[in-house]
Copies of this chain bind each other. A is one copy, B any other.
């Protein structure tokens, strides 16, 4: 069960994979990525990740890439690693060229991946929920494009850890609750689930989408609408969702208990749904 890298068609140990310093991903953050997880050796929502990848590439006017080629590369690396519960990181940059802002005339997109063991969520996070802080959203205005411009996420996550919390929640300067540093956010309030609508201000999370779809199939209402910091703090439950996060209850925000301060039934319901989906048909 080796952890491996993929570099433009070649598979190798991760610490041997290197890119030129003039890769535009390195000098301009001119690169997009996806992160996929496998359950019991099966990749979850592969086509949805490929759809989103195509959205990101298109939004940045990358040259068209062969979806079959990328899918095959992912599947090949995944198979070679043979890790039952793995995380595949896939990054595509615009290419390598002498540093200059405009798109290079001749440059082939660079495709880089890693596959690693994906460690389970600490059981106490599920049992007790996590603590979060809120931070003012300082990110650029196109968070729907999954680029490697993750420095605000890095800084927010680090600030959360230094504050004794596990994650940070981005709130717009005028108070709209956006999402976590690597997850979407749902609240349960007034007997319903609510989450930020799909706009350029948040990532269209795959886990978010499959959970909304699954809820609606069971006639569980999910309202996609804006809500503010006040509604967040007053919610009965707050839940983060994402490929790595899965479904995680947030029981304390900025030092204040959410609801009764314990994980609640909405988080449990969402987690059960995700587990059923991950187990496959």
A residues contacting B by CB (< 8 A) are 5, 7, 14-15, 17-31, 33, 60-61, 89, 91, 98-99, 101-103, 112, 114, 116, 136, 138-142, 147-155, 157-158, 161, 181-182
Contacts and interface: CB of A to CB of B under 8 A. Distances in A.
Nearest to A14: B22
A101 B154 contact: yes
Contact of A148 (B19, B28, B155): B28
Q: Which of A27, A31, A99: most chain B Cβ within 10 A?
A: A27
Contacts of A98: 14, 116
Chain copies in the assembled complex = 2
A27 B148 contact: yes
9 shortest A-B CB distances, which residue pairs?
A18-B18, A29-B29, A138-B141, A101-B157, A28-B150, A149-B149, A17-B21, A26-B26, A140-B140
B26 A7 contact: no
B149 A140 contact: yes
Given A29-B29, A138-B142, A142-B138, A101 B153 contact: yes
Interface of chain A, main secondary structure: mixed
B158 A61 contact: yes
Contacts of A148: 26-29
A147 B151 contact: yes
Contact of A14 (B14, B21, B91): B21
Contact of A17 (B20, B25, B29, B154): B20
A101 B31 CA distance: 17
B60 A151 contact: yes
Contact of A102 (B14, B25, B60, B161): B161
A18 B20 contact: yes
Contact of A149 (B17, B29, B116): B29
A95 to B, nearest CB: 12
Nearest to A27: B148
A18 B15 CA distance: 12
A157 B61 CA distance: 13
Contacts of A114: 21-22, 99
B28 A151 contact: yes
Nearest to A32: B151
A19 to B, nearest CB: 6
Contacts of A101: 150, 153-154, 157-158, 181-182
